Amino acid sequence: METFNAANNIQDLQFFGEFGGVNPSISDSSTYTFLSAKTMFDTFEGNTDGCYLYSRHSSPSNLYLAKALASLEGTEGANVTASGMGAITSSLLQLCKSGDHIVSSRTIYGGTYAFMKNFLPDFKIQTSFVDITNLEKVEAAINENTKVIYCESVSNPLLEVADIEALSQICKKHHLKLIVDNTFSPLSISPQLLGADITIHSLTKFINGSSDSVGGVICADQQFIDDLKSVNTGACMLLGPTMDSLRASSILKNLRTLHIRMKKHSENAMFLAEKFEKDGLIVKYPGLKSHKNHELYKRIMHAEYGFGGLLTLDVKTVEKANELMELMQNENLGYLAVSLGFYKTLFSASGSSTSSEIPEEERMEMGLSDGLIRFSIGLDHDIERTYEKMKWCMKKVGLI
Ligand SMILES: *Cc1c(COP(=O)(O)O)cnc(C)c1O
């Protein structure tokens, strides 16, 4: 039997347009007609397949994209959302009710952290934040109200790698759901194959890849997807984080080149990480032997896609970080911007931007220094040339 290959799975999906178009038609409608009133009733009850009711529930364009993303992650189903946060908040609110408890990695996307830390307690949902690489600590944090373990496959911004297989064992033992945000490592890591129950992406990043759209997806078994879309109790249906059909259609087209882009992002990031390390800089990249989770990543990855496009450089102070980033931007090496997965290199100082929701004391404890620059390495054609220019910048600000 052929082993799981996400890129082949996506390639094999064919969706034709209404007139034989090579891209599926966009469903430019918010509502749908029925030939009989009985079919409309049955659709409300969730008993009709292939019938559309109202586009907050589902639409053909969103279902095409969802199908492609389910085949990316090897899950039964998927539901696309208007943003990554829409996917994360809907999943957590579907699984956790008043009185419930979450065990979460402490190194996660700032918005996810803020949601668990500041927003959910008002609904009596508490979260314990732990070092997700310390399995004893993870298990010790579980209590009788715990419903979910939450982590990122490769964490933002510290690039720690979660041992999804081991976490999944813990979840099975305690009857919990394992949610994995796989935004940093599409194609490279397949959480579902390692035992995750729910895999989430911010499509805004690598999957769309052109920094022109915001989107998210929840990949899971069909039961959970149906639960999310239930007209009576579904978080996606009732909170309304619905993706627009035009966006779904454009993201699907970009998904078709993801496998090529991921290889190039990884190749370029690996090249720079090795060079920076040789130059004596404090660089973290999971592809480097010096990275504390290098062996784990190697064990779980689909090797052809490499170790991803993100690396961090610790230049100690926020002043030095700002000086370097401004200089690199002036030299046209990338943009001083948050987000990731763009064709152009993007860099930002995480402590003062995307992780600023995390209190300074906690940032220090987890090793998130003020001078930490997160790089999302672009698709540069000649990475050696890019490196020479970056090195010139590093010299100019006195780092090497
Ligand atoms: C950006 C990001 C999110 C949030 O996604 P949006 O599309 O911006 O809502 C969640 N998790 C990770 C790891 C991210 O990088």
- 267 and 251 fall within a common domain: no
Domain of 199? 6-255
- 71 and 19 fall within a common domain: yes
Last residue of a domain, one of 224, 255, 286: 255
Which residue has the CA at smallest separation from atom 1 of ligand 1? Answer: 202
- 270 and 160 fall within a common domain: no
- In three-state form (DSSP H/G/I as H, E/B as E, the rest C), the secondary structure along 219-278 is EECHHHHHHHHCCCCCHHHHHCCCCCHHHHHHHHHHHCCHHHHHHHHHHHHHHHHHHHHH
Last residue of a domain, one of 227, 255, 283: 255
Centre of ligand 1 from the C-alpha of residue 396, in Å: 33
- 338 and 221 fall within a common domain: no
Last residue of a domain, one of 210, 234, 255: 255
- 212 and 357 fall within a common domain: no
Centre of ligand 1 from the C-alpha of residue 129, in Å: 18
pLDDT at 305: 98
pLDDT at 365: 83
The model's pLDDT over 104-125, given as tens digits with 9 standing for 90+, comes to 999 999 999 999 999 999 999 9
Ligand 1 atom showing the smallest separation from residue 340 Cα: 15
CATH for 375 = 3.90.1150.10
In a domain, 1, yes or no: no
- 213 and 301 fall within a common domain: no
Residues of the chain falling short of pLDDT 70: 1-2, 46-48
Name the pTM for this structure: 0.96
- 215 and 282 fall within a common domain: no
pLDDT at 134: 97
pLDDT at 129: 97
pLDDT at 47: 60
- 132 and 190 fall within a common domain: yes
- 244 and 265 fall within a common domain: no
Pocket of ligand 1, beta carbon within 6 A: 83-85, 109, 111-112, 152, 156, 181, 183-184, 202, 204-205, 214, 216
In a domain, 391, yes or no: yes
Centre of ligand 1 from the C-alpha of residue 28, in Å: 27
Q: In the structure encoding, which two tokens stand for residue 81, read together?
A: 């959302």
Which residue has the CA at smallest separation from atom 2 of ligand 1? Answer: 202
pLDDT at 2: 66
The model's pLDDT over 200-240, given as tens digits with 9 standing for 90+, comes to 999 999 999 999 999 999 999 999 999 999 999 999 999 99
pLDDT at 5: 96
As for how many domains the chain has, the answer is: 2
- 249 and 277 fall within a common domain: no
Amino acid at residue number 323: E
Centre of ligand 1 from the C-alpha of residue 399, in Å: 31
Q: Which mutation among 88, 89, 91, 109 tests ligand 1's pocket best, with the greatest number of atoms within 8 A of CB?
A: 109
